[in-house]
Structure 1
């Protein structure tokens, strides 16, 4: 194991040493940092390499697996908890209905229609942060699971059968990879992301795909094909609260990463998320502004789509090259190494989300407090201008 970590350190330092200019977060952006790009790259490489050398030297045996079991708090099978769970599911279904109605029938101005801020900010950004800070909150509200469970219960009752438990054995996350990519394309590449009507189209098509899949493959399909549910559950592995064997349990933060399952498609899923966030940062660069700054409409969508695919491909290639280099140094199988180090990508995805979207949540997220009083934007209560740029530009 020490040899493996030492190899990872060498690979990390090598990769960081050859990247040249890097994207980093600092006051005013990378170009305003008081260091040349090559010094920043080597400093980052040294920090990563020294971290893994230290881990290899002082953390030679697994320590997180036992801590991940946590401490039991309360049972979730009591009547009170079940009633609370039913209430949260009803709330989730109601909010989903309001957002969908607002998207289709509300004001076309995204500044006063609740659908944009509710979906692109509070749902996408807020639930990512709630997931790794608290736990898998989305499971409490997921309207797709509610509808799928309800349909399965009605079908079982009509046949005089008992409701079968959800079976996720032998599943794959590749449908979730496709689902999350479609959303990320919509958010980062499509030219009319914040349009309420386009949000309505996206939510409708996405919902039909999820629910038809649940009808065909069983209600467990939603848990492994819904890109949002999969992402939130992966981030929740970092959280202190989780449910296991009918009990709510508490554990030390981050320890749950040691228990992440190696379901096929997990690593590509996280790499797609990381690549998309990297692309989002890349669109702020002067190079991208020179390429696509003057474009609009479908021309911009095509250019952004190509850019998104290229950046995701580069991120995936860097990871695979790193695993290949480690394989040559350790003799371990590269695909096995890819699965072993897959959970280490999840905290990076969480950090990217905070670095890119925290200010959006705190600033533009406040608008929804006003929009709640007029979700369709028909009364004219919410008329304040936006305080920050849109999520995708």
Structure 2
């Protein structure tokens, strides 16, 4: 089993020609911008809107201290077990579930679950669980750390943490190495725990890469919190409008979007040949892959900064702040690409990972009879359906991104520049649409 083969199909997966998909997607995005521009003239997205209240009993269950404590205990035990498997279990990635736990469940499953029900990593995080237990034993509040988190750091630590992960996945010499994955997971847990002790829960909210990722996509969930913390159903775009932003917000979005694009690009035979040829010429293949990854992330980040700041009628200081204030509008695009790019990976490689838990320590076990189970290729066996889902995911993400950006621009830009100030962003998103679909279906 090769976990890094994401189960992506090529252009043959599409039920329509690739060219038609590209043109149709660009027209859909452009037409939606035109409709939004003329029919949506005042800000509408309010993250404080009351929404539709869910039963109070549901909140009592979800927020019950006993349930939270049980989930925390299970999380700590589960991650301890995964680390133990990584240390003393099989070193062969085809026999170890550790790479699958990290690449499939943590990197893909947690964000997808967050899209459905909100930022689940806040509840599942083993670092948070251990930190809460230590604070309870010491009589301290989890929110309070030894030091104040520097405002200038913003989300830069989270962006750096995300970069280390995507580098491991896409540019490291042996991404599937059980040892390498175990070391990354160990390092993540150590840094997350130390950050919580030193800076309190602010570290988790702003600097923990997995929590920042989960919380970012969780803003697109229809489930939100209303007055007094009540659970409500609210427009995902309204929830998204309440996304906190700051220094490093653009870097986080660019890392997520650029790395996903590079993942698809790296499947092209031409790129593989270049990497292989560089190795034969004495230039480390890892260096070439690292440079390619950084170029993709840089193009997304720099392109967005220029497009977001291309608005008139603002002071230089306000224009410099526009990219970070608009950075969250890339979240729907990230969500669309994650769904399109990793869907088969999550569904089918996720099954393969579960099956490997039949004998996690290589002792000849067959726990719960898992070794006798076969993978159900429910998506790969239906390429037309898979291709349609990919197109819809990408296009829907871009349309929602345009809508979110338009609403925010109505709040930030002077009336005379509300439309013209968005044109560069619209063109950038059309470019993202073309590039994303091409990479997904022609790789």
TM-score band by shorter chain is: 0.7 to 0.9
Q: Distance in 1 between matches of 2:230 and 2:358?
A: 37
Q: CA deviation at 1:207?
A: 1.7
Rounded to whole Å, the distance in 1 between the matches of 2:47 and 2:97 is: 44
Contact 2:245 2:324 in 1 (8 A): yes
Counterpart-to-counterpart distance in 2, 1:210 and 1:301: 27
Counterpart among 86, 92, 97 of residue 103 in structure 1: 86
Preserved CA contact (<8 Å) 2:143 2:200: no
Alignment check: 8 A CA contact 2:47 2:239 kept:
no
- Could you say which residue in structure 1 is the equivalent of 2:112? 129
Residues in 1 aligned to 2:233 and 2:150: alpha-carbon distance in whole angstroms: 28
In structure 1, the residue matched to 2:363 is 378
Question: Which runs of 5 or more structure 1 residues have no equivalent in the other structure?
Answer: 1-23, 157-161
Check if 1:249 corresponds to 2:249: no
User: Hey, what does 2:187 align to over in structure 1?
Assistant: 205
The one-character-per-residue Cα deviations of 1:139-169 (angstroms, maximum 9, x if unpaired) are: 221101111222222233xxxxx53645898
Match of 1:11 in 2: none
More displaced, 218-227 or 300-309? 218-227
Match of 1:356 in 2: 341
Q: Residues 169 and 255 (structure 1 numbering): CA distance in 2 closer, same or farther, change over 3 Å?
A: farther
Q: Which residue, out of 8, 12, 33, partners 1:28?
A: 12
Q: Is 2:245 the partner of 1:267?
A: no
State the TM-score, normalized to the length of structure 2.
0.72
Cα gap change, 1:51 to 1:67, in 2 (>3 Å): farther
Q: Which runs of 5+ in 2 are unaligned?
A: 1-7, 381-442
Find out whether 1:91 has 2:91 as its counterpart: no
| Mean Cα deviation higher: 73-82 or 132-141 | 73-82
SS in 1 for 2:339: helix
Residue equivalent to 2:40 = 59
Deviation for aligned residue 1:78: 7.2
- Contact 1:110 / 1:195 at 8 angstroms: preserved in 2? yes
Whether contact under 8 Å (1:211, 1:222) holds in the other structure is: no
For residues 119-198 of structure 1, the aligned pairs below 5 Å read 119-156=102-139, 163=141, 165=143, 171=151, 172-198=154-180
Correspondent of 1:50 among 14, 31, 34? 31
**Contact 2:76 2:126 (8 Å CA) reproduced:** yes
Q: Deviations over 1:159-217 (max 9, x none)?
A: xxx53645898742111111111111111111212221111111112222222222222
Cα deviations across residues 66-91 of structure 1 (Å, max 9, x unaligned)? 67543333375679811111111111
Q: CA RMSD in A?
A: 3.3
Given that 1:371 and 1:377 are in contact with CA atoms closer than 8 Å, whether structure 2 keeps it comes out as no
> Do the aligned partners of 1:275 and 1:311 also contact (CA within 8 Å) in 2?
yes
Number of matched residues? 356
Alignment correspondent of 2:354: 369
Deviates further, 85-94 or 59-68: 59-68
Query: Retained in 2: the 8 A contact 1:114–1:377?
Result: no
Task: Name which of structure 1's ranges 131-140 and 378-387 shifts more when overlaid on structure 2.
Answer: 378-387
User: TM-score by structure 1 length?
Assistant: 0.80
Secondary structure (helix, strand or coil) at the match of 2:231 reads strand
Question: Superposition pairs for residues 327-366 of structure 1, below 5 Å?
Answer: 327-328=311-312, 331=314, 333-366=318-351
CA distance in 2, matches of 1:135, 1:79: 12
Shift of 1:65: 0.7
Change in CA separation of 1:60 and 1:304 when aligned onto 2, cut-off 3 Å = same
> Which structure has the higher relative contact order (CA within 8 Å, separation 6+)?
2
Distance 2:149 2:41 in 1: 32
What corresponds to 2:217 in structure 1? 235
Contact 2:90–2:96 (CA<8 Å) still a contact in 1? yes
Q: C-alpha offsets along residues 301-354 of structure 1, whole Å, 9 cap, x if unaligned?
A: 221111111111111121122124x324x5474333323432220011111111
SS of residue paired to 1:254: helix
Structure 2 Cα separation of the partners of residues 51 and 79 of structure 1 = 38
2:95 corresponds to: 112
Paired with 1:306 and 1:66, the residues of 2 have a C-alpha distance of: 39
CA contact (8 A) 1:114 1:371 kept: yes
Cα offset, 1:221, TM superposition: 1.4
